[in-house]
Amino acid sequence: MMDEYVILNGIGILTMVIAIMCGIIRVRDMDYGGRLILLLLIAGLLTEILAAWAGKYLGNNMPVYAVFNIVEVVLVSLFFNECVDAFKRENIGKVIAVLAVLAGVANLIWLQSIDKSNNNFMISGGAYIVVVSIIAMVDDARQGKGGNLLHYRLNIVLLFYWAVSLLTWFFYDDSDQLSKHDVWCVMMAVHLLNWLTNMFFATVFFFTPKQKHYG
Amino acid sequence: MDESSLVIKLWAAGTLVALLFVSLIVMLSAMLRKRAIAHQLERENWKLQLEKTAVAARLEERDLLVDEFSREIHDNIGQLATMVRMHLQVLEKQVTDAAQQKTINGGMTFANALMDSIQHISYSMDGSYIHEEGLFNAIGWQVDQIRSSHAIDIRLESPGMDMPLNAQQALVVYRIAQEAISNTLSHSGASELVIRLQYTDREFTMDVTDDGKGFDPAITKSGKVGIRNMEHRARILGGKLEVKSRVDAGTNIRLTVPLENNTEE
């Protein structure tokens, strides 16, 4: 079982590294929004490494994920602030990022302890990401050629990842009732989702539309 | 059904619904994006067409004015010059004094030169001359006039078969050639100028190449009214104008005009 965990995580880390490499190669063509998502992937990679270490030496890696989940919602909020015109005008993304930090910390203090999964926060955060990514996609699509293709594609990947993983967070509390085989099935599906998402990010980064550079 | 399989079935069904939902949203947004782009392209095309029509109208108006001016020069000033020569001829017959006859002969020489110049100017300005003589002959006539001044070694070449340009195309190409030749004579300091007309099934190309002092297109282009005019005219024909030049390395102006769906007027 341990071997399988290492292999699955290893593949996950490998796909993440590929996505990050593709992002770094094309970072000059990316705007601030694209770079925020690249930063999110780098944070995700560090989290996975740290979580593996914490799992092995401290026996619990939940606090690592709990902190990363907050960072994730914050970074995605800042990305949305770049994507949606209304968000950018009123700095709504930044306000939501601050609120996400407060809500995340409050959740860890009063609702779900740091050494357990903070799925309450992730369900609300995920729902928020699904809704806003759809708004951002429509906002970009309506602008046609004037829209930001990189943002549009990144929003598709975010929507794909969060719409599917939201279900996992939703059923997280019921995971105790699952048989060993069913847990394995869900775990495989979650890994598959992560790999696919990372490869989608890699593709989107690799095909970042070229920008003209002056000087 | 045990609790585990119910949860897993719900989870699987939910995941499937989520995937379908995502696919639907992506498809709808892609359609929206495609439609927005099509709408923008349509608007840009319309704007380009409008701009093209406006430029064409402006240039056509100018050409008409030039034609009118050419006719005025030919008919009025040319007529007056002819009258002057006739009077001098009459006077020459009446005068017996050798010194006076010499003066009158001198006057007649100037009158002839004036008539030639008037004819030269009115021909080069008159668009109908191109329709009658054809593009090659019209430019050839210009070339002859310049060659006779010995100011520059000028050649007109047209290898291969000529494909007829329609009247509007010929006039616009002629005007571009005039502008290019005029620019060379005024600014290049060239000793050689070659005009080359080339036809293929698909396009007509005119190269105007000199060995003059050249210029840096990046610096000069935006400010050159002559080049801008040539570009506007090229665009009217759906063609393009490329200017290649380097300081001290001469200049090449290439006009390319598509000949597809070309109809004789």
Picking from A134, A154, A172 by the largest number of B CB atoms within 10 A of its own CB, the best residue to mutate is A134
Contact A19, A41 (CB under 8 A): yes
Question: What DSSP assignment string belongs to A140-170?
Answer: HHHTGGGS-HHHHHHHHHHHHHHHHHHHHHH
Its sign, for the CA torsion A52, A58, A59, A63, is negative
Residue A35 has pLDDT above 70, yes or no: yes
B192-199/B153-157 β-pairing: parallel
- Nearest-CA distance B49 → chain A (Å): 20
Find residues 25-84 of chain B whose CB sits inside 8 Å of chain A.
25-26, 29-30, 32-33, 35-37, 39-41
Picking from B2, B3, B26, B31 by the largest number of A CB atoms within 10 A of its own CB, the best residue to mutate is B26
d(CA A155, CA A135): 9
Backbone φ and ψ for B257, nearest 5 degrees, come out as: -125, 125
Mean pLDDT of A45-59: 89
Predicted local confidence at residue A199, as pLDDT: 96
Q: Which pLDDT tens digit goes with each residue over A60-115? A: 888 999 999 999 999 999 999 999 988 989 999 999 999 999 999 998 888 887 77
Residue A32 has pLDDT above 90, yes or no: yes
Predicted local confidence at residue A24, as pLDDT: 96
Kind and range of the H or E element at B251? strand B251-258
Distances in whole angstroms, Cα of residue B66 to Cα of each of A21, B72, B75, B80, B175: 64, 10, 14, 20, 11
Residues of B in contact with A164 (CB under 8 A): 15, 18-19, 22
Predicted local confidence at residue B16, as pLDDT: 85
Contact B177, B145 (CB under 8 A): no
Which of A144, A156, A189 faces B40 most closely, judged by CB atoms? A144
* ipTM score: 0.77
Mean pLDDT of A29-49: 94
Measured CB to CB, residues of chain A less than 8 Å from chain B are 134, 137-138, 140-147, 152, 156, 159-160, 163-164, 166-168, 170-171, 174-175, 177-179, 182, 185-186, 189
Task: Kindly report the length of chain B.
Answer: 265
Confidence of residue A152 (pLDDT cuts 50, 70, 90): very high
Which of A141, A143, A171 faces B11 most closely, judged by CB atoms? A171
Q: Which amino acid is at A158?
A: L
User: Which residue, among A38, A39, A51, has the nearest Cα to A12 in the 3D structure?
Assistant: A51
Which of B7, B25, B36 faces A159 most closely, judged by CB atoms? B25
Residues of B in contact with A159 (CB under 8 A): 22, 25-26
Find residues 15-34 of chain B whose CB sits inside 8 Å of chain A.
15, 18-19, 21-22, 25-26, 29-30, 32-33
Residue A215 has pLDDT above 50, yes or no: no
User: Which residue, among A99, A82, A102, has the nearest Cα to A91 in the 3D structure?
Assistant: A82
Predicted local confidence at residue A40, as pLDDT: 96
- Nearest-CA distance B206 → chain A (Å): 33
Predicted local confidence at residue A2, as pLDDT: 57
3-state secondary structure of B128: helix
Angle at B173 between CA B172 and CA B176, to 5 degrees: 90
CB neighbour list of residue A40: distance below 8 Å, 6 or more residues apart: A72, A75, A76, A79
Put simply, whether B4 touches A (Cβ < 8 Å) is yes
Residues in chain B with pLDDT values less than 70? 1-4, 124, 127, 160-163, 219-224, 260-265
3-state secondary structure of B153: strand
- Nearest-CA distance B46 → chain A (Å): 16
**Rg value, chain B, Cα:** 31
- Nearest-CA distance B234 → chain A (Å): 28
Which of A138, A146, A178 faces B32 most closely, judged by CB atoms? A138
Distances in whole angstroms, Cα of residue A5 to Cα of each of A2, A119, B67, B231: 5, 22, 87, 67
Q: Which pLDDT tens digit goes with each residue over A153-165? A: 999 999 999 998 8
The answer to which of A28-32, A64-68, A179-183, B221-225 has the lowest mean pLDDT is: B221-225
Mean pLDDT of A200-214: 83
Query: Does the beta-carbon distance from A167 to B18 stay under 8 Å?
Result: yes
The answer to which of A6-15, A130-139, B93-102 has the lowest mean pLDDT is: B93-102
Which of A144, A163, A179 faces B18 most closely, judged by CB atoms? A163
Contact A157, A201 (CB under 8 A): yes
User: Which residue, among A166, A64, A134, has the nearest Cα to B26 in the 3D structure?
Assistant: A134
Which of A137, A143, A185 faces B36 most closely, judged by CB atoms? A143
Structure tokens at B26: 């992506």
Query: Does the beta-carbon distance from B19 to A163 stay under 8 Å?
Result: yes
Q: Which pLDDT tens digit goes with each residue over B210-219? A: 999 888 877 6
- Nearest-CA distance A64 → chain B (Å): 26
- For residues A167, A171, A175 and A178, what is the CA-based torsion angle, rounded to 10 degrees? -80
Q: Which residue of B has its CA nearest to A153?
A: B26
CB neighbour list of residue A189: distance below 8 Å, 6 or more residues apart: A168, B15
Put simply, whether B247 touches A (Cβ < 8 Å) is no
Tell me the whole-structure pTM to 2 decimals: 0.64
Mean pLDDT of A124-147: 90
Q: Which residue of B has its CA nearest to A158?
A: B22
